[in-house]
Structure 1
Amino acid sequence: MGHGIGEVFAIYGNYVTLYDIYPEALKKATINVIDSLEKLKQKGKVDNIDEVMKRINTTLNIADISDSDLVIEAVPENLELKSMILLQASTIVREDCVLASNTSSLPVSELSRYVRRPERFLGLHFFNPPVLMRLVEVVKGNETSEKIFNQGIEIAKSIGKIPIPVRKDVIGFVVNRILFRVFTSACSLLGKYTVEEIDSSAKYLLGFPMGIFELLDYTGIDTNYLISLEVKKRGFNYTCPALEELYKKGNLGSKSDKGFYDWRSGRPKI
């Protein structure tokens, strides 16, 4: 997700530094960005791939982000991991830096406990894939200043996104709050109906662009399972036994070629 967010900012003329502790992750991120840009060029949405890539640097040294105007944390939905990264980042960035989290479910107010200047911290929740999805949820935590909240809205607009201002910092914000109920309802139908039957109903009767289980596969079984654990800890009922079963088997969706669907031949035909 992080490389996709970086790609969007670079397309709009911003210089970007992608940080990770694993060299292979950065290598894969670069490959994914190039592949994405090539597809955009074929559609006439990007003119010069090389110019965009010149604005993207990668680093294994977190100190290289210290002079950034904006830092967006985009690690998996795990409080311990996010809190560690946010604490490290907030310790080294400039005092005027805007620090954000791409969290899709954890309350921004809870994460703000781990940053040095919580008034300059907010949620910027992009949707996958960031280069195609227009919406960005801009989330105001309890300590986020009005100035930074408004700045977050303008940041989203500056990269061609449609901001959803979220002033009430609830679990799942707006979009995922709705999706959690969609997912749990769909999961409750498994056994009575097949994955394909449920997804066909979602696409052709409800008008969803993707099937519900197709979306879970696409965004990652691991990502969605970790989200379910975090929101359940906070009192939100998000239960899907099939999701847990796939996660424990290592069937993580499209990224591993198997989840609710078999992805070895590409996107499932529903």
Structure 2
Amino acid sequence: MQMNTIKKIAVVGSGAMGSQIAMVCALGGYSVVLYDIESKSLDKAKQSLQGHMNRRIQKGRVREEEVSEAFSNILFTEDLDELKDVDFVIEAIVEKLEVKRELFKRLDEITPKHAILATNSSTIVSSKLADATNRPEKVCNVHFFNPVLVMELVEIVSGSHTSEETAQIAVEVVKSIQKIPVLLKKEISGFVANRILAKLMDEAVFLLENGYASHEEIDLVCTKALNHPIGPFALMDLTGIDVNYFVRMQRYEESGNEADMPAKIVQEKVRKGELGRKTGKGFYTYEQSSVEV
């Protein structure tokens, strides 16, 4: 299989990550299928993307004609059979292993035998999904960062099951959509960025829960003293506090180590439904749930 055979990309899951992955692929000239099980999610994705792209047009970051062409390249669908002729799949659904395994089993049945099946997860390594398919050599992680329209880096992880051809095609696809790929040649949960970020998050939560400083003050220190573009609590609100929760639960289920469980304050936020920007409240309160990019 050659890079030039990749013409059609499917993205499964139309949340903030999936919808923006679909858009950057469409802007890169690919024919894109954005699939979700719920029409409401697809409608919300289309509306959100239109808002994001309108703002980018106004700021001169992209031309109106480019955006119009990109939207014409995206098929928003609830019909999984629309994936029957795709060349590359990027899964971006909930961080639950069994749900992903069931999806990869279905994708293996529906998509052409040459299609690469990638997961956007940075927690669930692709070796946990590959054996749900009959093409383990074509399974890998392709991890984008939120917000996808802005963040340049993409982590690609090649497991022991992943062929060198698959890894190299993934690298070339990422380059073709104007992103910067980093290829990890063996698996480790969290990859590079999130392993480093997790240590920062743990310390930030420790300082908050033990009353050393408020979440606003901790974020201020990170942005003004460490020169981070965003503080850890604002970042959790941006990516979704529930995402942090599911990631930590997955890690705990794998290790059995109590220290890997979500922080108490994160568990409390999830129970209350205070998931960050998408719900209008997390560590901070927001007037609107959309994130300007």
TM-score by length of 2: 0.88
Match of 1:133 among 138, 143, 151: 151
C-alpha change, 1:164 and 1:91, in structure 2 (3 Å) is same
Displacement of 1:194 after TM fit? 0.6
8 Å CA contact retained: 1:122, 1:139: yes
Determine the structure 2 residue equivalent to 1:32.
Answer: 48
8 Å CA contact retained: 2:89, 2:117: yes
Q: Which runs of 5+ in 2 are unaligned?
A: 1-16
Q: Which amino acid aligns with 2:26?
A: A
Structure 2: how far apart are the matches of 1:196 and 1:44? 32
Determine the structure 1 residue equivalent to 2:206.
Answer: 188
Structure 2: how far apart are the matches of 1:266 and 1:251? 12
Q: How many residues are matched?
A: 268
- C-alpha root-mean-square deviation of aligned residues, in Å? 1.6
Matched, 1:5 2:21: yes
Using the aligned pairs only, state the percent identity.
37
Structure 2: how far apart are the matches of 1:116 and 1:46? 40
Structure 2: how far apart are the matches of 1:264 and 1:34? 19
SS of 2:155's partner is strand
8 Å CA contact retained: 1:112, 1:141: no
8 Å CA contact retained: 2:279, 2:289: no
Structure 2: how far apart are the matches of 1:141 and 1:266? 36
Matches within 5 A, 1:197-208: 197-208=217-228
Structure 2: how far apart are the matches of 1:196 and 1:29? 30
Determine the structure 1 residue equivalent to 2:80.
Answer: 62
C-alpha change, 1:102 and 1:265, in structure 2 (3 Å) is closer
Displacement of 1:38 after TM fit? 0.9
What does the per-residue CA deviation read over 1:114-166, in whole Å, with 9 as the maximum and x for residues that have no partner? 22201011110000111110000001112000111111111111111111111
Q: Which amino acid aligns with 2:250?
A: E
Q: Which runs of 5+ in 1 are unaligned?
A: none
Match of 2:169 among 151, 162, 165: 151
TM-score by length of 1: 0.95
8 Å CA contact retained: 1:77, 1:227: yes
Displacement of 1:110 after TM fit? 1.2
SS of 1:76's partner is coil
Matched, 1:247 2:270: yes
Match of 1:51 among 64, 69, 73: 69
Structure 2: how far apart are the matches of 1:252 and 1:259? 5
Matches within 5 A, 1:90-109: 90-109=108-127
